[in-house]
Amino acid sequence: MDPLDPALQSTAVTGVKPLLTLAIFAGVGSFFLGAFFTAIRRGMKEEGWFKLNHQEEEQD
């Protein structure tokens, strides 16, 4: 099946370059996803989101 855009006909879809690009974006994305989850967990613990900090104070 031919691509609809003629510019895609001359570009290579296979090879090392798309895999390298995918690896770079996956690495950057996993960094930001990890930072996001770390910020959420730290906010839940330190700022008392969802009353988790309140339960710890009652136990002490």
13 occurs within a structural domain: no
43 occurs within a structural domain: yes
59 occurs within a structural domain: yes
| pLDDT digits (tens), the chain, 60 positions | 556 666 555 555 566 788 899 999 999 999 999 999 999 999 888 877 776 545 555 555
60 occurs within a structural domain: yes
User: Contact, 46 vs 39, CB < 8 A?
Assistant: no
The domain tally of the chain equals 1
- Residue 19's pLDDT is 86
- Residue 28's pLDDT is 97
Domain range for 40: 36-60
- Residue 18's pLDDT is 82
Q: What is the DSSP letter of 51?
A: G
C-alpha atoms less than 13 angstroms from C-alpha of 19 in its C-beta half-sphere? 3
- Residue 14's pLDDT is 62
User: Contact, 9 vs 3, CB < 8 A?
Assistant: yes
